[in-house]
Every structure is written in C-alpha cells, then in structure tokens.
Amino acid sequence: MKGDGIMFGRRAALVLLAAALCSPVCRGEEDRARRLFEDAIAAMGGDAFLGVKDIVSEGRYFTFDRYGASSGLIRFTDYTKLPDKSRFELGNRKKELEITVFNLERDEGWVLEGQKGTRDANAEEMKGFRAAANHSLENIFRFRYRDPLNKLFYLGAGAGKDASLDVVKLIDPENDEILVYFDRASRLPVKLETGRLNDRGLRERLTSEFSRWHTIQGVNTPLRIDGTAGGRRAFQQFITKITYNNGLQDEFFSRPEPPK
C-alpha cells in the first residue's frame, strides 16, 4: 500500500509538472486563435457586425444528389433573429413553399410542406435545428467563440489547397467540434467544417465555404455559400438581397400557416 501511495504521488507530480509546462503553450495557442477571431470580426465590420440583431436574405438555392445532379434553381427567403430563431422559406410558387421555423429559446419547431400542411418538428429535426444554429457563421463569431465553456485550439495551416489558411478548432462541453478556416490575406473566415451521422449511422464531414464578400450596411457579407457532405457537393446558395436589423418580432417565429 505504501508503494502504491508513492507511485500515485509520483504520477500526480508528473501530471502537475506536465500541466505547468503545457500551460504557456496552451495559452499561447488559445490567444492566437482568439486573435484570429477578433481580426476576422474587424474584417467583417467590427461594431457593425456585432450590432446585428436580425437578418433577412433572399436569393437562389441549388441542391445536389449523391450523383451530382442539380435540383435546379429554387428561390429562398431566410429570416433569422439571433441567436436562436429562424424561418426559412424555400420554393418557386407561393402555395407550394416549404417553410421551416424554429424558436430554440422556447424549444419549438415546425415544418410546412407545401400542400401537406404544418406539422410539429420531430426530435431529430429539433436536434438538427440546434446544430445548425450552433454551427452558423453568425453565432460562432458573435457568441460562441467568446463562451468560456468552449475551448479554442490553433491548429496551424490547412492541408493541400487550404495551405494558405489558418485553422482553429472550437470544442464545446458536449464535445462538438467546429473547424474554422481563416484567410491570411483578407482575415475573413472562408470555410467552416463540422460533422454529423448520416442515414447509415456513419460520421461524415460537412463543409460550408464563403465567397463573394460585399459590404452591406457596414457588414462585410458573403453572398455565396457552397456546401459539401461527405466530400460530395450538397448545395449552393446565392444571396441576391440582404438587410440587417429589420426589427423582426418574436411572434414571426411561430407556427406557419399554409398560404391561401
């Protein structure tokens, strides 16, 4: 027992020594990661970016199947009230719109599938809504990177075509990981990478790449987003109009009614 105590004491001392030696390095990595976020926020408009309360955007949306075939042009309108409310309308005809609404503050969500009417979102869809909010560029840069419960790690340069980018990993207490890629020249965030379980129960990588940046109401805004899932092209989104701070009310994010 005495020998066990000595061994435990030595192990504890080694752990403390390792922690002491690692702390400056870890702090340096976290500080560098935090500076990348702060530089990116400045590049996206600084106070104008941080002052955004809600966003209304519209444009063209394309999805792609596993064989690369396109859905063709689908019009969308997106209403977002930060950090946890969204209404997304997708479709080319008013009476056939697919409308997805979630209010995570109240743990509520609905799906209106054109002529099928409105139904409550199921548990899996609510989980997906929450992941979408947590993984959004808007919430990561306005709230999540500053949350002391979330950890930041500077990973250095990306690989291959991403060699000119700096990469930071954000991990939350639930072990959800997000990789953020920063362009060294513009300081802008140009790609996000996350993961999910697909229909076969296998984990696949999801990426969103941001381009065609334009300054609108003082906010540097990406007007094109390209998404992949499992290495395959999944969607393209082209924003043709976007406005900030529209005064959206909470009541707007309630159960949608079929258009008449």
Quick one: average pLDDT of 149-155? Answer: 96
Residue 237 maps to a domain: yes
The per-residue pLDDT for range 220-234, each reduced to its tens digit, is: 999 999 999 999 999
Residue type at position 234: A
As a whole number, the mean pLDDT across the chain is 89
Residue 259 maps to a domain: no
Phi, psi of 224 (to 5 degrees): -135, 135
How many alpha carbons lie under 13 Å from residue 82 in its C-beta half-sphere?
21
Residue 238 maps to a domain: yes
Q: Tell whether pTM > 0.75.
A: yes
Residue 187 maps to a domain: yes
Q: Omega of the bond prior to 189 within 30 degrees of 0, cis?
A: no
Residue 32 maps to a domain: yes
Give one word for 93, left, alpha or beta, with left for phi > 0 and alpha for psi -120 to 50. beta
Quick one: average pLDDT of 245-254? Answer: 97
Residue 27 maps to a domain: yes
Residues 85-112: b if buried by 16+ CB within 10 A, e if exposed:
bbbbbbbeeeeebebbbbbbeeebbbbb
The count of structural domains within the chain is 1
Q: Over 50: is that where the pLDDT of 11 sits?
A: no
Residue 102 maps to a domain: yes
3-state secondary structure of 59: strand
Alpha helical stretches, state H, 47-135:
47-50, 123-134
Calculate what percentage of the chain has a pLDDT beyond 70. 87
β-sheet bridge partners, residue 118: 112
Q: Over 60: is that where the pLDDT of 14 sits?
A: no
Domain that holds residue 195: 2-252
Quick one: average pLDDT of 76-102? Answer: 95
Pairwise CA distance, residues 58 & 90, whole Å = 10
- Quote the pLDDT of residue 169: 97
Which CATH number covers residue 150?
Answer: 2.50.20.10
Closest CA to 235 of 8, 62, 12: 62
Q: Over 50: is that where the pLDDT of 2 sits?
A: no
Residue 258 maps to a domain: no
